Amino acid sequence: MTLFLLALFTQIIRPGTPVAVQIIYGLTIVGIEFTWLAFVATVVCVAAIKRRFLSISHWLERIMGAVLIFLALRLVLAKAHD
C-alpha cells in the first residue's frame, strides 16, 4: 500500500504544491485508510461472517492463486513476444 500511495502522490503532488494542500492530501488518505481498516476489522469480528469466510477461504486462495499464475503467464508471454 505504501508504494501505491508513493506512486500516486508523485503523480499528483508537484514541487510547487502548497504545503497546506499536501497536508490535506495526507490527512485525507490517513482518514480513508483508518475508516476502511476499522470497518474491515469490525466486520471480520462478527462470528457468522468469520465462520463463513473461513469455510470458503480454501477456495478463495485457489482462485487467487490461479489468477496470479494467469497474470504471470501473460507477463512471460508478453516479454517473450517482444
Residue closest to 29 by CA, chosen among 6, 50, 49: 6
pTM, to two decimals: 0.59
User: What gap in Å lies between CA 11 and CA 20, rounded to an integer?
Assistant: 17
pLDDT class of 5 with cuts at 50, 70, 90: confident
User: What gap in Å lies between CA 49 and CA 58, rounded to an integer?
Assistant: 15
Model confidence at 82: pLDDT above 80: no
- Least confident stretch, 4-13, 24-33, 59-68: 4-13
59 φ/ψ angles, rounded to the nearest 5 degrees: -70, -35
